[in-house]
Amino acid sequence: MEIFNEIIFTLVFYTMICFTDFVPEIETKVLIGWVACGLVASHFIVNLSIMLYASCKGAKKTCLMKRMRKK
């Protein structure tokens, strides 16, 4: 997961270079902006889904432990 985060951050930072005068065409900057938004959105969705999965797994384990204690 740590490597995935680093790769996404690196790709986003590389797209930020294209917003300087290095790329003169506005249309290209707009396209690269959409790519950067897609990278950030996918990063957010992947991290959020992993956190939700871990939370649900922990809640299920807690419920099972409480049920076992009652018996």
How do residues 21-37 score in pLDDT, each as one tens digit? Answer: 888 899 999 999 999 99
CA separation for the pair 45, 52 (Å, rounded): 10
DSSP-H helix ranges across the chain:
2-17, 26-70
**Residue from 18, 22, 70 nearest 39 by CA:** 18
CA separation for the pair 58, 56 (Å, rounded): 5
The residues near 46 (Cβ < 8 Å, ≥ 6 apart) are 4
Is pLDDT of 66 > 90? no
Domain ranges (residues) in the chain: 2-70
pTM of the full structure: 0.76
